[in-house]
Chains A and B, each alone.
Chain A
Amino acid sequence: MNGSGSGGFLGSFIEYFRSLFRAASALGRAIQTGLTYLFSTSEAKKEITELYPDPVSSRTPDELPTRSRGLLHNDILKCTGCYACSKVCPSDCFKIQTEEGPKPGKLWVSVFEINDAKCLFCGLCVEVCEPGSLVHTRNYEGSSETLEKLRAEFGRGPISREMREKWKRQRELQTEGGFEGQP
C-alpha cells in the first residue's frame, strides 16, 4: 500500500480499514433495503406485477381511465357520412364511401374502414365528429399476424338493385296507403 512515506503508513493503514468499513456498511444498507423486498409483505414491497392475461390482477379495458384512447369504433347508424374525420386525420387512415340511401335526407355509408395500423390514437377525429358516432373504445388488444386484419370495417355495404326496387315499392305503398300524415 503506497502510504505517503513511513509516517503515513499507519495513516494509510487506518484509512484502508476505514474505507473497507465504510464500503461494508454501505453494502449492508443496500442489501438490507433489498432484503426488505424479499421478506416483507407490506404494500410498498409486494410484487406489483399485473399478470396480464388473467383479468383479475390486470386491468381489463373497462377498468382503464375513462379518457383512455384505445381502438376506434363507429356507430354506423348515427354516422352521417360527412367525411369530417377523414379530412382532419393526420395519417389519413379512413376510407369512406357514401351512397344515396333509402331516406332522402340521410346518406347510406357503404364503406367506412379504419386502418388501425396507421391510426395515431390522437383523438382529433372523435373531437370533430359532429354526430358523435365515432368514439374511442378503451380496448387495446388489436395485434394480429397480418396487416389486413388490422383494418376495422364499419360500413353497411353497397346497395344492391333489389334493395332499391324494394324501397321504391315500399315508398309507393306508403304514399297510397294514406300515411301522408307523417312528415
Chain B
Amino acid sequence: MKQGWIQSSVSRLFGWAQAHSLRYFPIHMGCCSDELLQAVGCRYDLERFGVLPEVDPVFSDLLIVSGAITTRSAPELKKIYEQMPHPKFVMAIGSCACSGGAFGPEATGASTLAGLSGVVPVDIYVPGCPPRPEAILEGLLRLQDKIEGKKTASRKQGRKQGRIDRLETDEWDLR
C-alpha cells in the first residue's frame, strides 16, 4: 500500500541520515587497502561524506571489502557480516573483490572465490586494480544515492556508450 505522506517523509529522513553518516568496517585482504587509506587521507577526505572507519562490526553500517576472497577467509567474512546491525550495506572495491580478477578460482585452482557476490550480498562494485580514490568516492556517492532511493542519472550507468550499434550498408567501403 502506498506509504502515507508522514511515513514516506520519515523514511526519507532516515534514508538521508543513513546516507550521510556511514561507519565502515574495512576488510583489508589485498592491495586496495592502501588506496582506501589514501581516500581517508586529507586529499580525498572520506569524512567529508560523513564516512568514518569503525573498529567493530557491531557499530558499523558499511562493509568495505578489498582483496581476493580465499575459501579460508570467506566464513570469517560471513561472521563479520552477520554481526552488523540492519540496515547494512556492502561495497566491493577492486577487481579481486568484484569478480576474483586475476586471482579468480580458475587461476588459483579453487583456493579463492569469484568475488564477493557468493559470500555476502553486495550493493556496490567499484572496478579498478586498485581503483583510484576518486573511483571509491564515486562508488560511495552511488551507494548514497541507492540508500536514499534517488536515481543516479547524474552519474553514468556503466559504460554503454562504448558500443557502436550495428552499421547498415552505408558502411560498405567501396574503396
Contacts and interface: CB of A to CB of B under 8 A. Distances in A.
| Contact between chain A and chain B defined by CB under 8 Å | yes
A28 to B, nearest CB: 24
Interface in B89-104: 95, 98-102, 104
Given A145-B123, A145-B125, A147-B117, A76 B169 contact: no
Interface string A137-162: 00011111111111111111100000
A122 B101 CA distance: 12
Nearest to B39: A52
A73 interface: yes
Contacts of A71: 127, 159
Contacts of A102: 171-173
B15 interface: no
Contact of A157 (B104, B131, B166): B166
Contacts of A148: 158
A115 B125 CA distance: 13
Interface stretch (B4-12, B50-58, B78-86, B132-140): B132-140
Contacts of B102: 90-91, 118, 120
A59 to B, nearest CB: 7
Given A48-B42, A59-B134, A147-B125, A152 B159 contact: yes
A142 to B, nearest CB: 5
A73 B159 CA distance: 10
B153 interface: no
Instruction: Give the secondary structure class of B's interface.
Output: loop
Contact of A163 (B100, B124, B138, B168): B168
Interface in A29-61: 47-53, 58-59
Interface stretch (A3-11, A13-21, A166-174): A166-174
B129 A120 contact: yes
B134 A140 contact: yes
B156 interface: yes
A120 B158 contact: no
Given A120-B95, A153-B163, A174-B174, A49 B128 contact: no
B150 interface: no
B142 to A, nearest CB: 6
Nearest to B138: A141
Contacts of A163: 168-169
25 contacts: A47-B42, A71-B159, A76-B164, A91-B101, A91-B102, A103-B173, A118-B95, A120-B101, A120-B102, A141-B134, A141-B135, A142-B126, A143-B127, A143-B135, A143-B142, A148-B158, A149-B158, A150-B98, A150-B99, A151-B158, A152-B159, A152-B160, A154-B163, A154-B164, A163-B169
Given A53-B137, A119-B95, A146-B125, 14 more contacts: A47-B42, A50-B134, A90-B102, A91-B95, A116-B95, A119-B101, A141-B138, A141-B155, A143-B124, A144-B158, A147-B98, A150-B98, A150-B127, A156-B164
Interface of A: 47-53, 58-59, 71, 73-74, 76-77, 90-91, 102-103, 115-122, 140-157, 163, 166-167, 170, 174, 179, 182
